[in-house]
Structure 1
């Protein structure tokens, strides 16, 4: 079978290799024929070596990417057979052992795409507990976008609420930064809950697409650099109850200004740079004065993924896919995501349905 591998040394070193198809399975494992893989900014950074100094480069080529959907083609034994059967449509959890509660170091250590081998392969072995059933109305390409982007969005909106009691109603205002995968999933989820939404972007074209998906308000931050003031204006001075903060160090000061009293800033991304590389704003006193919370969001456990899936099935939410690349075009897909012109998610089709 074919797989893409990297030494975390740049796009030129990212290449296909031939390896034997997995044969032996443990009793709690299943073999999945991968149909689709979604690309995340994390994958781009790993392949390009942007995490060197934080992550040790692999000694031998490793498979990157972490989000995949596919079909079970073989069940390992009695443990896996109690949960799955051949032909089941599934997606893989990024951290297969993270079943409930907060993310811990032991979950990180078993994460797909790094430090463990990823999913940009034709066939892969998964633990039976590290898979979730795909809603029947979702395509493989749509389902592949859910493990990181949609789950991160879900946790950004709902991390502080009991399971199956998500936030609802127009009285809650959500500020969504940009139009990448996490943001667009969060927009679709918030719209399904009937929340008031504000989307920021530097592109009027993308903001128009966000309106078509249900955005209540939009703000072009190139035209309105002090977008926090615009958020306060749109909310009659109240601010946003939830902010899905994707920018990082350069956007955080305005997020702190824009958050409502008692509100939450869910920090999910660092698109403006790693926080270790830039001086940090003094946000503590501002958060105290507004009685607001800053929460780091790092994907989520299986029980919250399953909770999210129920909404996608009930409301028939279809993830927004900007572009689908072929398996042999994986380099182009990585480059396309790095350029940042996409609206929604970018997917690589590995095998046809």
Structure 2
């Protein structure tokens, strides 16, 4: 089968190779992958910013159909459309210890291949209204956004602040609006903010024009702040996120785009009794809940661009340049673009 190998932590070390097709063992399923989707962690792995067990088949997220069922597996049928979760061994409950935590595209083979063997317990059915390219965006981004909205107890009347217009932020926007919340979103692009409004955002802030965007959040909320802040920026935005949060609010930390080493005052956390929650995506059960919500509401992931399998390196380059709105997908449909 065709697959990409990342041999070293450099984008020019990503190469297309022919490798033997794997076979499923006890409790496993062979999935014919039809699409993959990039997350920032994939770029971090490919550039050495995040440790991984190289060489490996990269990319955490993908979607496809059941091709072969291993012994001891029930409840699945050949041809069924499925999503393999990023953390296939985290079924539910507490996060497994790091030493036993397998991660697709980081410590085990990922989605840049025509086929992948995955634990059956880590598979979730694809909503019928989604394409493979759309479904491939769900494992990390939708699960993380769903967990953020659930952790922040978002309900009618809540205010949610989202930083940027990446995949997690746009999923959180749609989940929060479905929950009856008011959503404020930031970007440095007015065009992206217009698109966010079309998705349901109530207020938008261009942080390039308004560098003290946290103060504007407070003004927009009458001084109260946001009940949930989905913090994607990292070191350079964290202090402002604390300032923008409401008393007893939640700052859900998922990203490190501007670095991971913080210098921030503890006083906002203490005085406002904030909950600062780190995120490592979520469990398979969380993904199932997110998928049920997507199925019930008809929500569609925002896919900015779909690259062909032969142009996987180009997909990474698109992600590294920024400027996209939502997710970047890669089709494995044998040279044909996945339909959105």
Pairwise TM-score range, normalised by the shorter structure: over 0.9
Any residues of structure 2 matched to 1:82-161 within 5 Å, and which?
Answer: 82-106=74-98, 109-159=101-151
Deviation at 1:57, TM superposition (A): 5.6
Task: Tell me the residue number matched to 1:25.
Answer: 24
Q: Which range is displaced more, 108-117 or 297-306?
A: 108-117
| Cα distance change of structure 1 residues 49 and 106 upon mapping to structure 2, 3 Å threshold | closer
CA shift for structure 1 position 160: 5.9
Distance in 2 separating the partners of 1:44 and 1:8? 13
For residues 31 and 182 of structure 1, the distance between their equivalents in structure 2, rounded to whole angstroms, comes to: 28
> Could you tell me which of 64, 70, 84 is aligned with 1:70?
64
Q: How big is the alpha-carbon RMSD for the aligned residues of Structure 1 and Structure 2?
A: 1.4
* SS at structure 2 position matched to 1:102: coil
Aligned match of 1:287 in 262, 265, 269?
Answer: 269
**Contact kept in structure 2, 1:156 and 1:268, CA below 8 Å:** no
Query: Which blocks of at least 5 consecutive residues in structure 1 are unaligned?
Result: 162-166
What is the aligned counterpart of 1:301 among 283, 295, 303? 283
1:223 aligns with 2:209: yes
Q: CA deviation at 1:39?
A: 0.5
Equivalent residue in structure 2 for 1:337, among 292, 297, 319:
319
Assess, with a 3 A threshold, how the Cα gap between structure 1 residues 149 and 56 changes in structure 2: closer, same or farther: closer
- Compared CA separation, residues 57 and 76, structure 1 to 2 (3 A): closer
Q: How many Å apart are 1:273 and its aligned residue? A: 1.2
1:242-281 superposed matches below 5 A: 242-275=228-261, 279-281=262-264
Q: Please state how far the C-alpha of 1:274 moved relative to its aligned partner.
A: 2.2
Q: Is 1:40 aligned to 2:27, yes or no?
A: no
Residue 235 of structure 1: aligned partner: 221
Residue 160 of structure 2: aligned partner: 174
Partner of 1:164: none
SS at match of 1:151: helix
Instruction: Tell me the distance in 1 between the aligned counterparts of 2:186 and 2:152.
Output: 24
Q: What is the TM-score normalised by the length of structure 1?
A: 0.92
Instruction: State how far apart, in whole Å, the 1-side matches of 2:326 and 2:60 are.
Output: 17
Q: State the Cα distance separating 1:107 from its structure 2 match.
A: 7.4
Alignment partners' CA distance in 2, 1:131 and 1:270: 28
User: Deviations along 1:100-133, whole A, 9 cap, x unmatched?
Assistant: 1232324763111112221210011111101001
Describe the SS at the equivalent of 2:8.
coil
Contact 1:266 1:296 in 2 (8 A): yes
Shift in alpha-carbon separation, 1:128–1:57, aligned structure 2, 3 A: closer
Residues 121-160 of structure 1, C-alpha deviations (whole Å, 9 max, x = no match): 0011111101001111111111100000111111111136
Measure the CA separation in 2 of the matches of 1:9 and 1:103.
27
SS in 2 for 1:141: helix
State how many pairs are aligned. 335
Q: What is the CA distance between 1:7 and its match in structure 2?
A: 2.4
Contact residue 95 and residue 107 of structure 1 kept, 8 A: no
Aligned equivalents of 1:233 and 1:107: distance in 2? 45
Contact 2:53 2:106 in 1 (8 A): no
Distance 2:168 2:180 in 1: 18
